[in-house]
Amino acid sequence: MSQAFATTVVNAYPSGVDNTQRHAILFGTISISASPATYVTGGLPLAFASTDTDSSGAPVWVEMLSATGANNAYKYQAPTLSPPVGAMLRIYVAGTELANGAAVPAGVSGDVIAFRAEFNRGI
């Protein structure tokens, strides 16, 4: 079995990118590959790409949730590190992170995960 991966898609204008003076904020969705792909303890790497802003660096803040709300059994988290070194998507069931090598549950791979990610702007 291969490791699962998370794919981000930034929403189209006007709801996809917000540039303040200090931050670039991206809004979009994440999809996770289905089983037989497996989860890796510590999370799945996230890569954010947008043509509207420089989001190539690590985010300073990431929020994720089920956009459908249909499957509340799974919680998604991206720990914010200081200094930011990259984003990972961690998946929890009943407060416990999925086990290393566990097959990605159908409730996760079939879910629509919404995200909001903030990046420092180099001004």
Handedness of CA 88, 92, 97, 102 (dihedral sign): negative
Q: How is residue 46 written in tokens?
A: 């996230």
Residue 37 lies in a domain: yes
Residue 1 lies in a domain: no
User: Is residue 99 pLDDT above 90, yes or no?
Assistant: yes
Q: What percent of the chain has pLDDT over 70?
A: 76
Query: Which residue range is the domain that position 107 belongs to?
Result: 6-120
User: Is residue 52 pLDDT above 70, yes or no?
Assistant: no
Give how many domains the chain has, as a whole number.
Answer: 1
State the DSSP H helix or E strand holding residue 12, giving kind and residue range, or none if neither.
Answer: none
Return the pLDDT at 13.
62
Residue 68 lies in a domain: yes
Alpha-carbon distance 123 to 117, whole Å? 18
Q: Give the CATH number for residue 32.
A: 2.60.40
